[in-house]
Amino acid sequence: MGRGWGFLFGLLGAVWLLSLGHGEEQPPETAAQRCFCQVSGYLDDCTCDVETIDRFNNYRLFPRLQKLLESDYFRYYKVNLKRPCPFWNDISQCGRRDCAVKPCQSDEVPDGIKSASYKYSEEANNLIEECEQAERLGAVDESLSEETQKAVLQWTKHDDSSDNFCEADDIQSPEAEYVDLLLNPERYTGYKGPDAWKIWNVIYEENCFKYNTFYSWLEGLCVEKRAFYRLISGLHASINVHLSARYLLQETWLEKKWGHNITEFQQRFDGILTEGEGPRRLKNLYFLYLIELRALSKVLPFFERPDFQLFTGNKIQDEENKMLLLEILHEIKSFPLHFDENSFFAGDKKEAHKLKEDFRLHFRNISRIMDCVGCFKCRLWGKLQTQGLGTALKILFSEKLIANMPESGPSYEFHLTRQEIVSLFNAFGRISTSVKELENFRNLLQNIH
């Protein structure tokens, strides 16, 4: 028996010695490492790294952007949530209370927002309204000045042009309503299962993208098609971050408690649970951030013109909001590692034009799919974020038009409606919030053993 114990102890000692050398087993990955193991360093197709984005967003940009989005101009968004789905009829409407959207009463929306989006001159105070009337009536009021008539026709032509990346929402419909985004926040509603998955499956499959195990296939694509996939994947990831960060943790007859659901986050982004896809999705979120950040830096001249107003009717507040807006855009302009969009469509002219058109048509198709979402709150935020991303793409492909804008007065060639402005900044606000929430989830996961 003594020899047996001696042999056993000797064997254990040998195993221990081996563990100190090249045979040492690696410690198991932590929960944070499994989600964020690939979310560091440089991003694919970019010269920027994740750490630089985190510092810039979380400490320099995020607080000011949130303040801007709480202002009246940016909190009210007009949307038609009753448009029929153009692809299928069997939509199961979400019956949960958290899926509902509470529209604004007429007296809750500032008069300036309801009557006009912004002003250029006394003569053109109601230019937006006249443009909308022209679209409805198919004619231009001849009593308007020649300059205003020209602007109305140019803007109507622009809004119907093939340069738009989103299907235009019919906000003049009697069914379109203003929604206070602060009172209808994006969060987990309980909308899930086959109906929810159907939306994303259609988005990926109808646009020729493989949803799972796609990366070897993706590597063979040109930079434009690869970028398109990563934008959609990044948007999907961002929405999932929001749902995990504002999850219904507890509900009583007195109150509801919303907060971070670590388990939900891991199910969507853990490297093991998602077979390696989760961390890649998070990197695509950062890619989306860089694209929208670049668009905002490009559109600065549009907002810098001295007679442009974020018009609500409250003169003091409007001036303060414009100052804050320009501060944010100048901060964005100073970002040292912007995405270089010149790599897009830089090849043969004919092929580049075809790629751009495919890019635009696919994205317009995705914006239409949002009318098929069965949860109205999910539909609201889906429509807003796709319109915001579509507006960002329109800006990136309008660089020459922006450069040729007049220093004052209506811009005939490049124009953003109030809908586009509100969706552009709120969509970027959602991406910015996602990046901030990733820091929160990283800290929470590091405490899990």
Cβ-in-10-Å burial (0-12, 13-18, 19+) of 133 comes to: middle
- Output DSSP code: residue 61: I
**Interstrand relation of 177-180 and 76-79 (parallel, antiparallel or unpaired):** antiparallel
According to the annotation, is 268 in a ligand binding site?
Answer: yes
Token pair of 23 as six digits? 């045979």
> What is the C-alpha radius of gyration for the chain, rounded to an integer number of angstroms?
25
Annotated binding residue 280: no
375 is catalytic: yes
Q: Phi/psi zone of residue 237: left (φ > 0), alpha (ψ -120 to 50 degrees), beta? A: alpha
3-state secondary structure of 42: strand
Catalytic residue among 35, 131, 372, 375: 375
Q: Backbone dihedral region of 254: left (phi > 0), alpha (psi from -120 to 50 degrees) or beta?
A: alpha
In Å, how far from its chain's centre is CA 81?
A: 19
Separation CA 153–CA 155 (nearest Å): 6
Nearest alpha-carbon partner for 392 in 365, 429, 358, 355: 429
Beta strands 247-251; 256-259: pairing state: antiparallel
Any known ligand binding at 22? no
- Is 236 annotated as ligand-binding? yes
DSSP state of 23: T
Contact between 185 and 247 under an 8 Å Cβ cutoff? The reply is: no
75 is known to lie in a ligand binding site: no
Annotated active-site residue 37? The verdict is no
Does 187 carry a binding-site annotation?
yes
Query: What DSSP element (H or E) covers 258?
Result: strand 256-259
Active site residues: 375, 378
Pick out the residues of the known binding site for FAD: 187, 189, 200, 233, 236, 268
Pick out the residues of the known binding site: 187, 189, 200, 233, 236, 268
